[in-house]
Chain A
Amino acid sequence: MSVEEVTQKTEDLNINESTVLSDKDFQLKHPLNTKWTLWYTKPPVDKSESWSDLLRPVTSFKTVEEFWAIHNAIPKPRYLPFKSDYHLFREDIRPEWEDPTNAQGGKWTYQFKGKTPEIDDLWMRSLLAVIGETIDEDDSEINGVVTNVRKNGYKIAIWTKSADNKEALTRIGSKFKTVLKLGEEAQLEFFPHSTASEKHPQPSLVL
Chain B
Amino acid sequence: MIRYTEEELFQLKPVSDLPVNFDAEEFRAIIDKVKEIQELQEEEYQQFHRRRSSHHHGRPKIKHLKPKITTDADGWSTFEAPVVRRKSTVVGAGSDDEVAVKEPVVIAQETLKVKPNNKNIASTRPADTRDIVADKPTMNFNAFAALESDEEDVED
Contact = CB atoms under 8 A, between A and B. Distances in A.
Partners in one complex: yes
B96 to A, nearest CB: 52
Given A82-B38, A132-B6, A134-B4, A30 B12 contact: yes
A196 interface: no
Main secondary structure of the interface of A (DSSP, over half): mixed
A79 B34 CA distance: 12
A132 B17 contact: no
A45 B27 contact: no
Interface stretch (A3-11, A67-75, A160-168): A67-75
Contacts of B21: 59-61, 66
A79 B27 CA distance: 13
Interface in A75-134: 75, 79-82, 84, 125, 128-129, 131-134
A33 B38 contact: no
Contacts of B27: 40, 58, 74
A200 B10 CA distance: 40
A73 B156 CA distance: 132
A43 interface: yes
A59 B2 contact: no
Contact of B31 (A79, A133, A134): A79
A69 B31 CA distance: 19
Interface in B22-52: 22, 24, 27-28, 30-31, 34-35, 37-38, 41
A74 B6 CA distance: 20
B18 A69 contact: yes
17 contacts: A30-B4, A33-B2, A40-B27, A42-B30, A45-B34, A58-B22, A64-B12, A67-B9, A68-B18, A69-B17, A69-B20, A74-B24, A75-B31, A80-B31, A128-B9, A134-B4, A134-B6
Interface of A: 30-33, 40, 42-43, 45, 58-61, 64-70, 72-75, 79-82, 84, 125, 128-129, 131-134, 140
Given A45-B37, A132-B6, 7 more contacts: A31-B2, A45-B38, A59-B20, A66-B21, A68-B18, A81-B35, A128-B4
